[in-house]
């Protein structure tokens, strides 16, 4: 028998979530954000799920973009950090990739390159995130240079929100972006999932949802994925390998950080941080056994974690376990572990077999 841990991928859920983004986006077109191996779900798996509906794919990795072209995808591809070295530009031209330009040096490199085709470009404006992006003072000369260049096929202005999911919202950044857009009449692209769902007025010409496509809420503190009508694209399941009776005072796992205060029964589950389950998930993190919710106990180890099955007398060796996904929102597990679903998805280990559901 093989180790029972599996990640089940549901392409219909991704398509459904894309349709939620579609409804919200109005007339804007949608870049499906598939960076980081489609948030751990598998780049080609997600691209195939969206093949008929995706208007474009956005990612960071050049090898991923080339893999999409090799697999026959013809949609525009947006490279969210552009290029890093001048010698990558030949591939941008060959594979028709749209670079984000976030600084003057990138702009100058592009303008100096002798490319066989013109490239559409995204010009990233810093409106308050203060990571990448051109500042207000640089915008006019950069735009002037791009406009007159023979290397450029079209310019879209973009920005990225720091707190679309939080209390601060987008107000300040959005008004700065509006001011910078000026009278140029350029197409714009600003919204991530949170902005698309909470501030539809930012949809502009293109939107860039990522996390919502995978069925997790971008703002789980205020609205759950279910409330947003999103469906989980990944369900991580395993089984109980063995059960054990504890008496009061018995300790569980490394460090003995959990101590039974009364007799109890625990199940040992085949899943650990070596699979991507967060080691910092404390005792009490929600988990399903036999479809019923219970809690983890003790420290998560590399290959195993423990669950309280005291109130689940039917749960023996072989009982099915859901770590997250259908029946248990990944956002609840992430919150218990003090992180966000993005990190859990991205951390899914290569040793976990992914099964595609019909
Ligand atoms: C990752 C990313 C997104 C998608 O963000 P979500 O919160 O997953 O919707 C959008 N834009 C940029 C620039 C990104 O890096």
| 38 CA distance to ligand 1 middle (Å) | 11
User: For residue 282, how far is its CA from the centre of ligand 1 (angstroms)?
Assistant: 28
What confidence tens digit (pLDDT) does each residue in 192-242 have?
A: 999 999 999 999 999 999 999 999 999 999 999 999 999 999 999 999 999
The reply to whether ligand 1 has any atom less than 6 angstroms from the CB of 232 is no
CA angle 190/196/197 to nearest 5° reads 155
Q: Which residues pair with 324 in a beta bridge?
A: 236
Question: How far, in Å, is the centroid of ligand 1 from the Cα of 193?
Answer: 7
Active site residue 254: yes
The domain ranges of the chain are 11-214, 234-356
CA of 134 to the centre of ligand 1 (A): 18
CATH 3.20.20.10: does it fit domain 11-214?
A: yes
Q: What burial class does residue 214 get, using C-beta atoms within 10 Å of its C-beta: 0-12 exposed, 13-18 middle, 19+ buried?
A: buried
Instruction: Tell me which of 122, 124, 254, 277 is the catalytic residue.
Output: 254
Number of the ligand 1 atom closest to the C-alpha atom of 31: 10
Burial (CB < 10 A; 0-12, 13-18, 19+), residue 339, is middle
Q: Lowest mean pLDDT: which of 83-97, 158-172, 175-189?
A: 175-189
pLDDT confidence bin for 1, thresholds 50/70/90: low
- Ligand 1 atom nearest to CA at 218: 7
pLDDT value of residue 183 = 56
- Is residue 159 scored above 90 in pLDDT? yes
Reply yes or no on whether the pLDDT at 35 is more than 70. yes
Query: Which CATH code is given to the segment(s) 234-356?
Result: 2.40.37.10
User: Which band of pLDDT confidence, cut at 50, 70 and 90, is reported for residue 180?
Assistant: confident
Cβ of 82 below 6 Å from ligand 1: no
Higher pLDDT, residue 238 or 149: 238
- CB contact set of 79 (below 8 Å; sequence gap of 6+): 58, 59, 60, 62, 65, 92, 97, 98, 99, 100
3-state DSSP assignment of residue 188: strand
Q: What is the mean pLDDT of the chain?
A: 95
| Token reading at 39 | 């948030």
Question: In this structure, what token pair is assigned to residue 210?
Answer: 């990522």
Q: Is any ligand 1 atom within 6 A of the Cβ of residue 220?
A: no
- Res 181: pLDDT: 78
Please indicate whether residue 209, judged by its CB atom, sits closer than 6 Å to ligand 1: yes
pTM exceeding the 0.85 threshold for the entire prediction: yes
In this prediction, residue 69 carries a pLDDT of 98
Least confident of 27-36, 103-112, 284-293, 319-328: 103-112
């Amino acid at each position: 028998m093989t180790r029972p841990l599996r990640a089940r991928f549901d392409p219909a859920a991704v398509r459904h979530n894309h349709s939620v983004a579609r409804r919200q986006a109005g007339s804007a077109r949608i870049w499906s954000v598939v960076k980081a191996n489609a948030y751990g779900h598998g780049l080609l798996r997600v691209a195939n799920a969206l093949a008929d509906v995706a208007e474009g794919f956005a990612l960071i990795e050049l090898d991923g973009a080339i893999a999409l072209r090799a697999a026959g995808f013809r949609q525009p591809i947006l490279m969210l950090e552009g290029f890093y070295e001048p010698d990558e530009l030949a591939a941008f031209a060959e594979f028709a990739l749209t670079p984000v330009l976030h600084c003057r040096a990138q702009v100058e490199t592009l303008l100096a390159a002798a490319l066989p085709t013109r490239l559409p470009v995204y010009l990233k404006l810093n409106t308050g995130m203060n990571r990448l992006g051109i500042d207000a003072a640089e915008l006019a000369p950069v735009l002037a240079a791009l406009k007159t260049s023979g290397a450029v096929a079209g310019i879209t202005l973009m920005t990225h929100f720091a707190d679309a999911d939080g209390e601060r919202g987008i107000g300040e950044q959005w008004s700065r972006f509006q001011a910078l857009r000026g009278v140029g009449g350029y197409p714009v692209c600003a919204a991530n999932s949170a902005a698309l769902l909470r501030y539809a007025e930012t949809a502009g010409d293109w939107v860039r949802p990522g996390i919502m496509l995978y069925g997790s809420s971008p703002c789980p503190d205020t609205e759950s994925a279910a409330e947003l009508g999103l469906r989980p694209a990944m369900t991580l399941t395993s089984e109980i390998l063995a059960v054990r009776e504890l008496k009061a005072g018995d300790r569980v796992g490394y460090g003995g950080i959990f101590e039974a205060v009364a007799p109890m029964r625990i199940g040992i589950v085949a899943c650990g941080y070596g699979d991507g389950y967060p080691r910092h998930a404390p005792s009490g993190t929600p988990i399903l056994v036999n479809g019923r919710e219970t809690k983890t106990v003790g420290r998560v180890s590399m290959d195993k974690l423990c669950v309280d099955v005291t109130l689940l007398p039917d749960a023996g060796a072989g009982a099915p376990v859901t770590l997250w996904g259908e029946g248990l929102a990944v956002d609840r597990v992430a919150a218990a572990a003090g992180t966000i679903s993005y990190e859990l998805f991205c951390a899914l280990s290569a040793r976990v077999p992914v099964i595609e559901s019909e």
